[in-house]
Chain A
């Protein structure tokens, strides 16, 4: 019974390159959340998606960042032209329709640690 799977676990990019982070939610979950954890800080909400739709992106930087959750396949968080300040751990979480209605706790992945050199 696989949980939320994120890959890669570690990603190193040079400044100016693109980073693509993948998240496969728990099977059957249609709600995906992305959170970012900067060094020595707590997790901060970035974006909430529900199959093909962005529901809330209030925590997403306005430029260079985008997220998608296609009908088929994993959710992707894309960071274009990365800068050193993008170095962080990016966590994905998912929930089912029922869990979302009940406000049940999210299922978190182990994160992708992005390092920008």
Chain B
């Protein structure tokens, strides 16, 4: 079975500060990993994904994440927070290739608060 743990239900940063949102996963097969962002009363928007290949993945809005197999982690970072980054962020894992469909397992989410 797969699972995702997001440490910290809330993270507060100042505008311009580094953003670090933590995600650890558990998977018995090579995983595909995703970060999604959810703005209030909206659906999920894909930030970035890791499938295979380069372990440092760049996404939209200046976000990036690094897949570390030895640590079973996929932490999300952004060098400088912007007020518009305030949202809920979800890490998700799927079983990867040849699964037949995308059955995502989500973490419980981290709410990012950005103060001026």
With A103-B51, A103-B99: A91-B44 Cβ-Cβ less than 8 Å: yes
Query: Complex Cα distance A95/B100, Å?
Result: 12
- Asked if A42 is at the interface of the complex by the 8 Å CB criterion, the answer is yes
Query: Complex Cα distance A24/B109, Å?
Result: 26
With A31-B101, A105-B34, A105-B102: A42-B43 Cβ-Cβ less than 8 Å: no
Cβ contact within 8 Å between B94 and A103? yes
Cβ contact within 8 Å between A44 and B106? yes
Chain B interface: which size bin? Answer: 20 to 34
Of the listed stretches A13-21, A65-73, A78-86, A107-115, chain B binds: A107-115
Return the chain B residue nearest A55 by Cβ: B101
Query: Complex Cα distance A56/B59, Å?
Result: 30
Tell me the B residues contacting A by CB distance below 8 Å: 4, 6, 9, 32, 34, 36, 41-46, 49, 51, 90, 92, 94, 96-97, 99-109
Other than the known A33-B101, A33-B103, what 12 A-B pairs have Cβ atoms closer than 8 Å?
A31-B101, A42-B90, A42-B106, A43-B44, A56-B101, A93-B102, A95-B101, A103-B94, A103-B97, A105-B34, A105-B49, A110-B42
Complex A-B: 13 CB contacts under 8 Å: A33-B102, A40-B9, A42-B107, A45-B105, A48-B101, A55-B101, A103-B32, A103-B51, A103-B94, A104-B102, A105-B102, A108-B44, A110-B41
Tell me the A residues contacting B by CB distance below 8 Å: 4, 9, 31, 33, 35, 40-45, 48, 55-56, 91, 93, 95, 100, 103-106, 108-111, 113
